[in-house]
Structure 1
Amino acid sequence: MGLRIPVLLGSVRSDRVGIRAARYIIDALTRKGHEPVLVDPMELQLPLLDRMYKEHPKGEAPANLERLATLYREADGFMIVSGEYNNGIPPALKNLLDYFLEEYFWRPSAILCYSAGQFGGVRAAMQLRMTLAELGMPSIPSLLPIPRIQQVLDEDGHATAEWIDKSAGRFISEFEWYAGALQTQRAGGTPY
């Protein structure tokens, strides 16, 4: 049985290339029998965080937050697609993440990071690990960094470099293992 996986995209820039990475990983997850769902802050148009989902009276949160809360509660794990802005987490991604807390608990996350340069977004990924752990969805040990993304993925998210499919396969297999392990543990109850 496939996993339900929200794919959180971290960019709202008009000329963003991260959508290529999101399309790539959604296709790769779908081919493995999973159910990825794109969570795009550009489409959601969330304002800068003023009130978390849980701070709204029950049933009174904005409709887009209610939909995300439902999706997140059904999730088996989260795929995070992040660029690197000044060696850090893109502000749109941090804003998107901070709207929720308990909905993430006891589920793994996996970080696909990218950049136009040679580092592939790994400096942002290191900061993301701390944030994701604090949110209750620790990241798996492996990353899927994509350096020089414009040379590796085309606009539709199709690979133009041979190495990425092999790297993505290992990355997804590791994520599946953690998602399955935590799914089993959640079924038996959580520590609190």
Structure 2
Amino acid sequence: MFSYKPSAIVTYSAGQWGGMRAAVGMRTFLSELGCLPVSAMIHVPKAQEVFAENGSAQEGEDQASWFDYFGRTFNQLVWWAQAASEHRERIDPHQLVRDFKTDPSERNAP
């Protein structure tokens, strides 16, 4: 289900480092699921100071700089998604490596 699909990590937190700490573990988790996490991540510390309740940027926040920051991650995600899709059309990765579905014995490990 998740194998060979690009993914991006986006976090937010009320404090400075909560989202970043969660992201460190999430990269390993996504990889274990078979996802391909992109290297750029989005972290929004002190989100309550950045975004209003409706999700828009708070007054005084530089929206352009946030969009530039988000764009780096989204551009990587789009690039990898397109590359994976094109390669999947030529070679089915599920034929090369058996998927881990329900039982640890399916991990293809000794």
Alignment TM-score, normalising by the size of structure 1? 0.45
Alignment partner for residue 178 of structure 1, among 53, 56, 80?
Answer: 80
- State whether residues 111 and 125 of structure 1, in contact with CA within 8 Å, keep that contact through their aligned partners in structure 2: yes
In structure 1, stretches of 5+ residues that fail to align are 1-102
1:139 aligns with 2:37: yes
Query: What do you get for the CA RMSD once the two structures are aligned?
Result: 1.3
Alignment of 1:1-192 (within 5 A): 103-119=1-17, 121-160=19-58, 161-162=61-62, 163-188=65-90, 189-190=92-93, 191-192=96-97
In structure 2, stretches of 5+ residues that fail to align are 98-110
In structure 1, distance between residues paired with 2:12 and 2:2: 23
> Aligned letter for 1:175?
L
- State whether residues 114 and 146 of structure 1, in contact with CA within 8 Å, keep that contact through their aligned partners in structure 2: yes
| Higher helix fraction (1 or 2) | 2
Greater mean deviation of Cα atoms: 111-120 or 137-146 = 111-120
> Aligned letter for 1:111?
I
Higher RCO (CA < 8 A, seq sep 6+): 2
Q: Deviations over 1:130-181 (max 9, x none)?
A: 0000001121001100011011111121123213111011211111111111
The structure with more radius of gyration:
2
| Higher strand fraction (1 or 2) | 1
In structure 2, distance between residues paired with 1:134 and 1:181: 21
